[in-house]
Amino acid sequence: MGIQFDAAARTFTLSTRSTTYQMGLDHLDHLLHLYYGPAIGQGDLAAMYPPADRGFSPNHNADRERRGISPDALPQEYTGCNTGDFRLSCLVVREENGAAGAEWRYASHSIQKGKYALTGLPAAHDEENEAESLCIRMEDSVTGLALELLYGVFERQDIITRAARLVNGGSQTLRLEKAASMCLDLPFGRWDMIHFHGRHAMERRMERTPLMNAIQTVSSTRGASSHHHNPFVILCDRKANEEHGLCYGVMPVYSGSHRTDVEVDQNGLTRIVSGIHDERFSWQLAPGEAFTAPEVILACTENGLTALSQQYHRFIRHNVCRGEFRFARRPVLINNWEATYFDFDSDAIVRIAEKAAALGVEMLVLDDGWFGKRNDDNSGLGDWFVNENKLPGGLSPLIERVNALGMKFGIWVEPEMVSEDSELYRAHPDWALTLPGRAPVMSRNQMVLDMGRPDVVDYLTERLTDLLANNPIAYVKWDMNRNMTDVYSRVLPAERQGEAAHRYMLGVYKLLETLTTRFPHVLFEGCAGGGGRFDAGMLAYFTQIWCSDDTDAIERLVIQHGTSFGYPVSSMGAHVSACPNHQTGRTTPLWTRAVAAMAGTFGYELDLNKLSDEEAAQVKEQIAFFDKHYQLIQNGLYYRLTDPTEEERYAAWQFVDEEQGETLVNLVLTHPEANARPLHVWLRGLAPDALYRVESLDIHGCHAAPQAGLDLAMEGVGKTYSGSTLMHAGYTLPQLAGDYPSVQMYVKRV
Ligand code: DGJ
């Protein structure tokens, strides 16, 4: 039983396989958070918080005689507003008279089998029939505002989801100025915070710092989850590492402006508040209207960061991603972007496809530039009609030629944007977000469509339906290449302008919901100038997301390492590109580029016709290798063996199948040394008592003279070791030298 209400103790206990989450009602019907952590069963934990009269921590009026009971000191499940808790709040609600206040009291609750759904917002699903849901209804007697706290308990997955719904049950119009999704108070413990920061073409770099006695914020006001701060935060105990230690994850299922604050208060309690960013946000709630704050996915483990990541990987693959591509074999693709940029025609694309097909690539993706007047990035966005100068006769003849090669065809779109120089903008200038009286801020010379407008969403639904219904398109890359400024909607009244940014996201989700439902056999890949919208909200529609515009294999190791903390390998779009690399100018061996891209969905993004015969043969081998290990890589468990913030010499990671029957170890030398130290790895995730045979050890791109130790390592091939030997004694890999060679070791249980 995942959810229990103890009527005598007045506690709610949520139980997953190895965690317990408990809340309790106090004597005034306030809802206190009591515990979230490793499983402890059901005992009432209210006694953990003895009353203590703390100066300057006030009391509810009804508690004025009990000065030890303060909303400012006790762990709260979802804060009120302006009524005695000075820490981070979840809510700011304003009445018509300007007063801002709310004090939540318990009204009712319900427990149901299955997972709650959220209208208009992506949320985890329960196709595998394991979840239970709890709804606790709290009310504020003055405003009549009701708060529905929603909990989804996924027992087997060890995951708890949360969301909040605010319903105006009063008679006046209320204005929400902040409406977080959740608050999580961790009363005891000293924590490190891990977050994933970056910039365009260098996303999700992992950073770990001890929490300060202050508020630390991970946020975006860009109208997108952003390259800059990924909406995912981990708190872990100070000694936690990959294999040990208590860790908590907070992952909003939201793709717009977000904010997660972590505060350490005067008593050492740590509070996390997460949800939509409140800067320039407001939402009018007329009587009877409701507002839903997005879902947050919570995970907890006492077994370290790898276990936490694997919980998220499994949950995203099983319960966030939807549709037939979740577990299906996805095609190895070739994308023409870095091969041609805007400079192509049908024949050029077919030449790329022909070579790719001959080497085993399964799908051709036509990137930006096939539509409107789009010969560079200054024009054409919005005009989703084929540019017949480039593609004579339209898409059909091209798709036929690609299909005739035995390849699928995929296409790029950027529906949420409009170029000033486009038919669409000339016809509908009011469809773009612009501030009255101001020339709009430009970025990549394009503007953002007001996706909060139903007519804009209808137009795009029609255009994209037309594109997908009338062409045999197997895949769509959905891009988004600037952030939101000039946030003002021409169709909202003045008092609702604070809603524009969130309404934009609701419009995007609606469009994606319609298209992914209408075209279930199309594989959708998300993209926002690479990984500028790599989040759980997007993963509800896109089974994979282009990880970064940085295709340099060595930089990718860092980006993919950071991304792996929250997101599975099967969600990370990754390609082999040309050298010198277009972003960094670096040259890496072709095989090493493939090893890096194989830690993602694997594809190519270069003109394969420009490869030498030897390199073309390597591409064939790479695809065969990926094919052979597809299940292990995409559906196996992922282990980080190195941390780029600590180990500069090499990056290593490992895939292990769930049955612990086989593993693939990958290592890339990132910094060759003179008089080099051994490249020794300790394998992870094997069955300690089982015997494993080293089946193969492939050295790639090691053009420098062989180093001592290479032969010895190769002698291990064919030998058998116990799982515990490989995990505790480890294995010394060949002594690589030169520029960025790599090695892959495949080990199988005997
Ligand atoms: C940004 C994407 O990340 C690239 O892969 C490419 O699709 C360009 N946009 C096209 O404009």
Closest CA to 719 of 697, 744, 694: 694
The residue type found at 661 is: G
Q: What is the pLDDT of residue 705?
A: 63
Closest CA to 559 of 523, 524, 521, 532: 532
Structure token pair of residue 749: 């249980």
The CA-based dihedral angle spanning residues 116, 118, 122, 127, taken in that order and rounded to the nearest 10 degrees: 30
| pLDDT per residue as tens digits for the range 289-299 | 999 999 999 99
Looking at ligand 1, which residue's alpha carbon is closest to its atom 11?
368
At 644, the pLDDT band (50, 70, 90 cuts) reads confident
Q: Which residues contact 118 (CB under 8 A, 6 or more apart)?
A: 150, 163, 292, 294, 295
- Nearest-angstrom CA–CA distance, 547 and 531: 5
Q: Which long-range contacts (CB under 8 A, 24 or more apart) does 125-132 make?
A: 125/319, 125/320, 125/322, 126/152, 126/154, 126/319, 127/318, 127/319, 127/322, 128/318, 128/319, 130/154, 130/155, 130/156, 130/157, 131/2, 131/155, 132/1, 132/2, 132/3
**φ/ψ bin of 229: left (φ > 0), alpha (ψ from -120 to 50), beta (otherwise):** beta
Looking at ligand 1, which residue's alpha carbon is closest to its atom 2?
529
298 Cα–ligand 1 center, Å: 32
**φ/ψ bin of 444: left (φ > 0), alpha (ψ from -120 to 50), beta (otherwise):** left
Q: Which residues contact 420 (CB under 8 A, 6 or more apart)?
A: 379, 442, 445, 446, 447
Q: Which residues contact 95 (CB under 8 A, 6 or more apart)?
A: 101, 142, 143, 172, 174
Closest CA to 433 of 490, 503, 496, 510: 490
Which runs of consecutive H residues, i.e. helices, occur in 325-453?
Answer: 337-340, 346-359, 395-404, 423-427
Is the confidence at residue 710, as pLDDT, over 90?
no
Contact 282, 499 (CB under 8 A): yes
- Nearest-angstrom CA–CA distance, 450 and 452: 5
Looking at ligand 1, which residue's alpha carbon is closest to its atom 10?
368
Structure token pair of residue 128: 């595998």
- Nearest-angstrom CA–CA distance, 15 and 375: 56
Structure token pair of residue 218: 């991970």
| pLDDT per residue as tens digits for the range 565-602 | 999 999 999 999 999 999 999 999 999 999 999 999 99
Residue 377 CA: which ligand 1 atom is closest? Answer: 11
Closest CA to 448 of 485, 498, 479: 485
Structure token pair of residue 251: 């992952």
Is the confidence at residue 92, as pLDDT, over 70?
yes
Contact 306, 449 (CB under 8 A): no
> In percent, how much of the chain has pLDDT > 70?
99
422 Cα–ligand 1 center, Å: 19
530 Cα–ligand 1 center, Å: 7
| pLDDT per residue as tens digits for the range 681-697 | 999 999 999 999 999 99
In Å, what is the CA distance from 59 to each residue of 67, 160, 578? 6, 31, 65
Sign, Cα dihedral of 49, 54, 58, 59? positive
546 Cα–ligand 1 center, Å: 9
- Nearest-angstrom CA–CA distance, 7 and 29: 13
What is the CA 169 to chain-centroid distance, rounded? 35
What average pLDDT is seen over the chain?
97
Contact 21, 2 (CB under 8 A): no
Structure token pair of residue 126: 């329960």
| pLDDT per residue as tens digits for the range 299-328 | 999 999 999 999 999 999 999 999 999 999
φ and ψ at residue 734, rounded to 5 degrees: -55, 145
Is the confidence at residue 706, as pLDDT, over 80?
no
Question: What's the average model confidence in pLDDT over 649-653?
Answer: 97
Q: Which residues are catalytic?
A: 535, 615
Higher pLDDT, 297 or 1: 297
**What residues are in contact with ligand 1 under a 6 Å CB criterion?**
337, 367-368, 412, 479, 481, 527, 529-530, 546, 549
For the sheet containing 363-366, what is the strand order? 572-573, 544-546, 523-526, 475-478, 408-413, 363-366, 333-335, 603-605, 575-577
Q: What is the pLDDT of residue 707?
A: 62
Q: Are strands 475-478 and 523-526 parallel, antiparallel or unpaired?
A: parallel
Q: What is the CA radius of gyration of the chain?
A: 27
Identify which of 336, 479, 606 to mutate to test ligand 1's pocket (most ligand atoms within 8 A of the CB). Answer: 479
| pLDDT per residue as tens digits for the range 38-85 | 999 888 888 889 899 999 999 999 999 999 999 999 999 999 999 999
